[in-house]
Structure formats: structure tokens, C-alpha cells
């Protein structure tokens, strides 16, 4: 169920600006829906993707203390926004409806047609509000293509079950061994590793594109431990699909058709600082590393 909120923000400048909205509610809720509508005043160039006009999004719930930033994306990590929405869902059915955007093709054109260029989009983000004493804050940095255009963002509260998780995303340069640490004051519940071929660029035909699967990744390891070190990373290939929608291998909109790996199934629950390392052929493409944490 969606509980209506009257809060709305709007962008109308071709120069990026940052707006913060404070969301007040009279009851606890599990998440928020952000609904984007882009209006092309001149009617030129056909539909425009809302996502390519976003530079950063931060969702802050102060009652979580050091982990108050439930979502914090900027630059190339913006490509993970729909994936974060899906991984906050408790089952594949909820994941399928957690966003209107293909998580594997957030902006790019693929499959013989243009995807995600409609003038509207939505994402559902897990929050699991614990207190009404402190309000939720959402900060968005955005802009529009052309003077006279507008992009509005409206917010609604959700009360269907969502996972008690938050996200940390990192843009990792591909060197021979890339190592990424995660916060020590939370419990790591899973890791997604994806390669991208095209960076986040407003107005480009393929403003952001994940890279298709290749054999440049030679090993993935969690904490350097033998039982969580995979010298055949292809074994991890289906993991993101399994958690989201079980999409078939080879499908354009399936994570398994991209150079993406997930460590979710039977993930070891350990406390304290943890890290994931990726061994790959240096310089073949940069990686986005997404940590799904509880705390």
C-alpha cells in the first residue's frame, strides 16, 4: 500500500542544483517511493530519461546513527539505483515491482529498442522507519536538458514488508587487484559486483551502460578466506538474478548476461570490518561494488 505524501520538489535549471526535502509522517513506514516526472516543454527529441538527469541521491534516517544514510549514490554509482530498490524487497515479486526501470539497463538503449526513456519513473527504497521523533531527509542533485523543461519528484510512504538493509556503493578502478572494505559498525549481508563500460553522462545516447560478460575477472574473495574465495567467478554469475527475479541467462535484462557477480546465497553473517577483493586484468573496465548491510 502507498500512503500519500504531499511533498514534492522540482528542478528547472540546466545547471545542477541540490534540493533537500524533509518527509514527515504520522505513522511508521517501511520505505518511500520516489516518483519522477520529466516535462519536455519544447516537445523536442521525444521522451527523456529521468535518471540521466540525476547526479546524486541521499536518503537519511537520523535514528540509525552512524548508519543513517540508508542510500547514498552519486556519479557512476547512480546506475545502481534500481538495483538498490530491488534488493530492498523481501521476495522476487516485490522486487519486480520495486522500480519501473530495468536495473541492468537504467539508461542505455538495448535489445533493438530504446529503454527507460519515458518521461516518468519510480523507485521504492527500503527505510524501515523506527521513530517519528526524527524526520526522514532526502537530498537530490539534478538538472534538466533544456531551459523551460522541468523534472518533479514526488514522495509517498510505503507499508509493505521490506528488508532491514541499507546500501553502500563504491566506484572502483579496475587494477590487477581491487579491494573494497565495508563499514565495521554494520553486518554485511551481501555484495554485488558489476562492471560498467560507459560512465554516467547526461544526454548521451548510452548515458550509462553496464559491460557485457567477459573473462577478465579471475578471482573474487570475501575476507580472503578459502571457503569464500572463488577462482572461477562464473559460479557467482547467477546470484544477483536469483535474489531479484531469477531472470534467465542471456536475457538482455538479466544480470547474468553482464559482467556481474553476486555473493548473496547463504552469505556468511559476520560482525566487524569485512572486505571483498576482485582480481582482474588491469584496465579492462571499472567496477561498481555494492554492499548490502544491516544495522
> Higher pLDDT residue, 225 or 4?
225
Residues 145 and 195 in one domain: no
- Report pLDDT for 134: 92
Residues 114 and 175 in one domain: no
What's the CA gap between 186 and 86, in Å, rounded?
20
Residues 125 and 192 in one domain: no
Sign for the pseudo-dihedral over CA of 83, 69, 62, 187 = positive
Whichever domain contains 215, its CATH number is 2.60.120.20
Residues 151 and 189 in one domain: no
Beta-bridged to residue 35, according to DSSP, are 122, 154
Last residue of a domain, one of 124, 142, 158: 158
Reported as a single tens digit per residue, the pLDDT across 49-93 is 778 889 999 999 999 999 999 999 999 999 999 999 999 999 888
Residues 244 and 105 in one domain: no
pLDDT of 148 strictly over 50: yes
What's the CA gap between 209 and 228, in Å, rounded?
29
Residues 78 and 217 in one domain: no
Whichever domain contains 64, its CATH number is 2.70.9
Residues 150 and 208 in one domain: no
For 116, which DSSP code?
Answer: S
What's the CA gap between 85 and 3, in Å, rounded?
18
pLDDT of 246 strictly over 70: no
Nearest Cα to Cα of residue 75 among 3, 178, 172: 172
Sign for the pseudo-dihedral over CA of 247, 253, 259, 264 = negative
Average pLDDT in the 96-119 region?
Answer: 67
Number of domains in the chain: 2
Reported as a single tens digit per residue, the pLDDT across 5-54 is 778 999 999 999 999 999 999 899 999 999 999 888 766 544 567 788 89
Residues 138 and 221 in one domain: no
Residues 107 and 83 in one domain: yes
Q: Is 243 helix (H, G, I), strand (E, B) or coil?
A: helix
pLDDT of 154 strictly over 60: yes
Residues 142 and 194 in one domain: no
Sign for the pseudo-dihedral over CA of 145, 208, 88, 183 = negative
Last residue of a domain, one of 158, 188, 208: 158
Residue 84 Rama label (left phi>0; alpha psi -120 to 50; beta): alpha
Residues 234 and 130 in one domain: no
Name the helix (H) or strand (E) containing 120. Answer: strand 120-126
Q: Which three cell numbers stand for residue 133?
A: 521523533
Could you tell me if 185 and 168 are in contact, meaning their C-beta atoms sit under 8 angstroms apart?
A: no
Q: Which three cell numbers stand for residue 30?
A: 517501511
- Report pLDDT for 281: 80
Last residue of a domain, one of 99, 130, 158: 158
> Higher pLDDT residue, 256 or 263?
263
pLDDT of 4 strictly over 90: no
pLDDT of 146 strictly over 80: yes
pLDDT of 113 strictly over 70: no
Reported as a single tens digit per residue, the pLDDT across 193-219 is 998 888 887 766 567 888 887 778 889
Residues 8 and 129 in one domain: yes
What is the span of the domain harbouring residue 47? Answer: 2-158
- Report pLDDT for 251: 58
> Higher pLDDT residue, 80 or 4?
80
Amino acid at each position: 500500500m502507498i500512503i500519500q505524501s504531499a511533498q514534492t520538489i522540482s528542478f528547472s535549471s540546466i545547471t545542477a542544483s541540490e534540493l533537500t526535502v524533509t518527509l514527515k509522517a504520522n505513522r511508521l513506514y517501511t520505505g518511500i517511493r520516489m516518483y519522477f516526472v520529466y516535462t519536455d516543454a519544447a516537445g523536442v527529441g521525444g521522451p527523456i530519461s529521468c535518471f540521466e538527469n540525476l547526479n546524486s541521491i541521499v536518503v537519511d534516517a537520523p535514528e540509525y546513527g552512524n548508519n543513517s544514510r540508508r542510500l547514498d549514490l552519486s556519479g557512476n554509482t547512480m546506475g545502481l539505483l534500481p538495483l538498490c530498490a530491488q534488493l530492498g524487497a523481501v521476495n522476487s515479486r516485490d522486487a519486480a515491482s520495486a522500480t519501473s526501470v530495468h536495473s541492468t539497463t537504467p539508461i542505455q538503449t538495448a535489445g533493438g529498442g530504446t529503454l527507460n526513456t519515458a518521461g516518468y519513473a519510480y523507485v521504492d527504497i527500503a527505510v524501515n522507519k523506527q521513530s517519528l521523533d526524527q524526520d526522514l531527509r532526502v537530498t537530490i542533485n539534478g538538472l534538466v536538458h533544456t531551459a523551460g523543461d522541468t523534472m518533479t519528484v514526488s514522495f509517498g510512504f510505503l507499508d509493505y514488508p521490506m528488508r532491514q538493509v541499507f546500501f553502500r556503493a563504491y566506484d572502483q578502478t579496475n587494477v590487477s587487484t581491487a579491494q573494497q572494505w565495508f563499514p565495521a559498525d554494520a553486518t554485511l549481508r551481501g555484495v554485488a559486483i558489476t562492471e560498467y563500460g560507459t560512465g554516467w553522462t547526461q544526454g548521451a545516447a548510452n548515458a550509462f551502460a553496464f559491460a557485457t560478460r567477459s573473462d577478465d575477472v579471475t578471482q573474487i574473495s570475501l575476507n580472503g578466506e578459502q571457503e569464500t574465495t572463488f577462482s572461477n567467478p562464473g559460479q557467482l554469475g547467477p546470484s544477483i538474478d536469483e535474489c531479484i527475479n531469477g531472470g534467465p541467462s542471456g536475457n538482455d535484462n538479466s544480470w547474468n548476461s553482464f559482467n556481474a557477480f553476486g555473493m548473496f546465497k547463504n552469505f556468511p553473517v559476520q560482525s566487524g570490518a569485512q572486505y571483498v577483493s576482485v582480481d582482474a586484468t588491469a584496465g579492462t573496465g571499472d567496477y561498481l561494488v555494492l554492499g548490502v548491510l544491516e544495522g
